[in-house]
């Protein structure tokens, strides 16, 4: 697939717009987890913060657990989406539940991968701020990104274990590093341009001093940003699978 990231994603989403259901499902799961966390285990922490007090060790532990759950949800939804895109590119238009079930069968290794990525990623971000060694750890961070770019497709589509999957991801990532960088930049540039257009629309609406116009434009901007976020998630997953398939084919 020789097209760029935007064109590739547009073609896939035009063929199967229902793929947007995956990031939408992830967004709904995020809302449920956060609502439950804030109303139950983190309710006391929220009250303490509002009163100007520090979080207790128990609060920090619960907050960390909530962040891990959110990360696992993100990995699971992304894995399901990538499985569905892969099957679609193979010419098979399967129900979304098939991909959800396929990712579910790999949930233990996906959870292990999420925990590993969270721990090592956090360590690298902290070490990047270490005086005199920031450049070294920034390079290590780039290497880690290259190592893990194809981790989820390999774990889900090939059924690999965690260690062998990371080795496989590194081998495949080396073949597509150039396209990976340019594709990621294009997605983010497109997202930023949409955000700037939305900001400009809000500014123009405020200048009208018409409450009805401002309310209508604000609602439109919220919907636009929501759709943009869903499309960005779908586009990133789609292009990752496309590059994975190219790397596997030795292109």
* Tens of pLDDT, residue by residue, the chain (251 residues): 445 666 777 788 888 888 999 999 999 999 998 888 877 766 677 677 777 777 777 777 878 888 889 999 999 999 999 999 999 988 888 899 999 999 999 999 999 999 988 887 777 666 656 645 555 545 555 556 667 888 999 999 999 999 999 889 888 887 777 777 787 788 888 889 999 999 999 999 888 888 888 899 999 999 998 888 888 888 888 888 988 988 888 75
Q: How far apart are CA 112 and CA 119, in angstroms?
A: 11
Cβ proximity of 45 and 65 under 8 Å = no
101's tokens: 């079930």
This prediction's pTM: 0.81
- How much is the pLDDT for 67? 87
- How much is the pLDDT for 137? 46
Cβ proximity of 8 and 186 under 8 Å = no
Tokens 């259901």 sit on residue? 21
Helical segments of the chain, H only? 5-15, 21-39, 43-50, 57-89, 96-105, 107-127, 134-148, 151-157, 162-175, 177-207, 211-249
Cβ proximity of 233 and 13 under 8 Å = no
Cβ proximity of 176 and 241 under 8 Å = no
φ, ψ of residue 89 to 5 degrees: the values are -70, -20
- How much is the pLDDT for 8? 76
- How much is the pLDDT for 141? 53
- How much is the pLDDT for 85? 92
Q: Which domain holds residue 22?
A: 5-249
Number of domains present in the structure of the chain: 1
Q: Of the candidates 169, 163, 167, 175, which has an alpha carbon nearest to the alpha carbon of residue 151?
A: 169
């Amino acid at each position: 697939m020789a097209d760029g990231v935007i064109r590739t994603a547009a073609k896939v989403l035009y063929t199967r717009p229902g793929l947007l259901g995956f990031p939408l499902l992830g967004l709904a799961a995020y809302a449920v987890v956060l609502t439950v966390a804030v109303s139950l285990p983190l309710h006391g922490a929220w009250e303490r913060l509002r009163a100007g007090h520090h979080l207790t060790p128990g609060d920090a532990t619960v907050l960390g657990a909530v962040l891990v759950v959110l990360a696992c949800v993100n990995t699971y939804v992304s894995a399901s989406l990538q499985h569905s895109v892969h099957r679609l590119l193979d010419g098979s238009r399967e129900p979304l539940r098939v991909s959800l079930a396929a990712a579910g069968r790999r949930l233990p290794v996906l959870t292990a991968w999420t925990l590993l990525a969270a721990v090592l990623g956090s360590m690298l971000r902290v070490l990047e701020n270490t005086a005199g060694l920031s450049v070294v750890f920034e390079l290590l961070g780039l290497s880690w990104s290259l190592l893990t770019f194809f981790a989820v497709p390999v774990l889900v589509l090939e059924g690999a274990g965690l260690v062998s999957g990371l080795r496989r991801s590194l081998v495949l990532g080396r073949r597509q590093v150039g396209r990976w960088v340019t594709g990621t930049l294009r997605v983010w540039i497109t997202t930023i341009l949409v955000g700037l257009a939305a900001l400009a629309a809000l500014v123009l609406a405020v200048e009208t001093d018409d409450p009805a116009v401002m309310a209508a434009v604000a609602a439109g901007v919220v919907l636009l940003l929501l759709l943009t976020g869903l499309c960005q998630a779908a586009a990133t997953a789609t292009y990752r699978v496309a590059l994975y398939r190219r790397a596997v084919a030795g292109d």
